[in-house]
Amino acid sequence: MLWQTIITLAVFAGQVVARGGKPRPFSYFTNNTIYQPVGKESVTYPRYVELEDGTILATTSLTGHTPGYFPVFESKDGGASWKHVSNLTDQVNGWGMSAQPALAELKTRMGPYKAGTILGTGNSWSNNGTKIDLYASTDRARTWKFVSHIAQGGRPNTTNGATPIWEPYLLQYKGTLAAYYSDQRDPKHGQKLAHQESRDLKTWGPVINDVAYDQYIARPGMTVISYIPQSKNGSSSTSSPSAIPPPTASTTPSTTSSPTPRSPSGNPSASPSS
């Protein structure tokens, strides 16, 4: 999983079309550009989701705009060509979608949201706080609507003792959506990984600890999680390095958490903040 993440980053952050010409649809290629930052822009935290019909959606943190937003790109040909289809903007806080997006597709209906609904989240922050909000698109990521506030923390600050939240990631399992994130609000842990669960996308249950080390200063990083079905004979098809509890309905999760403290550019002055 870790390698996969790094390779994906390398591909996403690459520039210019692969040597030897345009990538062919549904073929192998390297270094195919999805988006080339212009002017003062820069991109971090690339995220993608492959939809049931094979469409790939990708997004990224984008600095250089106030308020910030997540540009959303679509590929219908296996990543060979990309189209900028929408911007996921903050509709409620006035803070922008500052950084750390995540995308997911509903595989089964939840509340009024049908299978095929695209979910988007991320960190909306200002000098007044950090908020992880949920948005939904019912038109294949062309337009987005605010659904719910998942969690809220103090202003961005990566020092232990400060109380922000960071880096959400979404996983639907059966009738439950889990929103994983990195959490500095617990006075017992400089930072921990936690999640909250919803069954209707509107209301969210309590904070459930996933990785919370005994040592206060340990910062377990961020959660990236995938569902890997169990093999037919019942043995698990993966190992779970840090044993992150799955959503209540049991799954076999596989996680990647970085060994060193992440520093999501936690300095509000370096980011859109008003």
Ligand X SMILES: *[C@@H]1O[C@H](CO)[C@@H](O)[C@H](O)[C@H]1NC(C)=O
**What residue ranges bind ligand X (CB under 6 A)?**
14-16, 30-31, 71, 84-87, 94, 126, 128, 157, 159, 161-162, 231-233, 235, 274
The least distance separating ligand X from the CB of residue 57, rounded to whole angstroms, comes to 13
Q: What is the largest CA-CA distance in the chain?
A: 55
The least distance separating ligand X from the CB of residue 127, rounded to whole angstroms, comes to 6
| Rounded Cα–Cα distance for residues 242 and 223 (Å) | 10
The residue (of 215 and 235) whose beta carbon lies closer to ligand X is 235
The least distance separating ligand X from the CB of residue 142, rounded to whole angstroms, comes to 9
| Rounded Cα–Cα distance for residues 44 and 38 (Å) | 14
Asked if residues 66 and 274 have their Cβ atoms less than 8 Å apart, the reply is: yes
The residue (of 27 and 108) whose beta carbon lies closer to ligand X is 27
| Rounded Cα–Cα distance for residues 150 and 152 (Å) | 7
The residue (of 153 and 168) whose beta carbon lies closer to ligand X is 153
| Rounded Cα–Cα distance for residues 32 and 11 (Å) | 6
The residue (of 31 and 226) whose beta carbon lies closer to ligand X is 31
The residue (of 18 and 170) whose beta carbon lies closer to ligand X is 18
The least distance separating ligand X from the CB of residue 159, rounded to whole angstroms, comes to 4
The least distance separating ligand X from the CB of residue 246, rounded to whole angstroms, comes to 20
Render 90-136 in DSSP notation, one character per residue: -SSSSS---EEEEEEE-SS-BTTBPTT-EEEEEEEEETTEEEEEEEE
